[in-house]
Amino acid sequence: MWKRMFGPDLRREWYLIKMPEGPMKQYYRKPIPWPETDYRELEYLCIDLELTGLNPETDEILSVGFAPIVDQNVILSESAHYLVRPSGELPEDSVVVHGLTDDRLAEAEPLEDVLPHVLMALSGRVLFAHHAPIELGFLNVACERIYGYPLLTRAVDTLELEKRNRQQRNQPLDGGVLRLAKARESYNLPRYRAHNALVDAVASGELFLAQAAHKTAKGEKITLRELMFRNR
């Protein structure tokens, strides 16, 4: 109940007081990006997860890819890709989708060791992803489970943004136009054949750059709030 009354910024300050040292506290040391800031002044972290399914409570993260955006450039030198060792056996259908097999994943690090890298990269930055509820949901559950605290962040969802843009321009939403590959096509972005968490993270980062560039043709100020994912 009180979660709804206090915004993430106040809660972050409260967590900083009561939280023990660790990756989560490190994450909260930098303020959460303020929604009234011009979006160009902010840094972002595009994240993509590969999963065993879509339910954060029961499914598992198999890999994480991320790349930051600074000064409206995707910085590949700070990008990263991690495989995550699952706690159980992989359901067969997810193997088909990701091409990640038990053997490869068995050598990977457990989520406890991967998550700190993600939090460090995300600290002080806006999270974004194509269809962000998935990434937000899974990361939040992971943080709660491992550190006992939720992941407070501000996020941009390139899928939702695309949907809003299209609705504003009275363009149709059918034919899968909101899917990452299709959405990219309409901005003259290249078609990527390979799929892994990092390629998709970079792909959504590029999509965001394109969406933002098209929104700010006249160079006027646009706040993060205007681009932000509404659910938070």
Q: Name the residues that contact another protein, by CB under 8 A.
A: 65, 72-77, 79-82, 187-190, 192-194, 196-199, 202, 205-206, 209-210, 213-214, 217
CA atoms 109, 154, 150, 52: torsion sign:
negative
CB of 199 to another protein, least distance (A): 6
Contact in structure between 149 and 24 (CB atoms under 8 Å): yes
C-alpha span between 175 and 7 (Å, rounded) = 37
CB of 183 to another protein, least distance (A): 13
C-alpha span between 218 and 216 (Å, rounded) = 5
Residue closer to another protein, measured from CB, 55 or 171:
171
Strands 126-129, 155-157: pairing is parallel
Residue closer to another protein, measured from CB, 24 or 201:
201
Stretch (H or E) spanning 161: helix 158-168
Residue closer to another protein, measured from CB, 25 or 215:
215
Strands 109-110, 155-157: pairing is unpaired
CB of 213 to another protein, least distance (A): 4
Residue closer to another protein, measured from CB, 16 or 75:
75
CB of 168 to another protein, least distance (A): 17
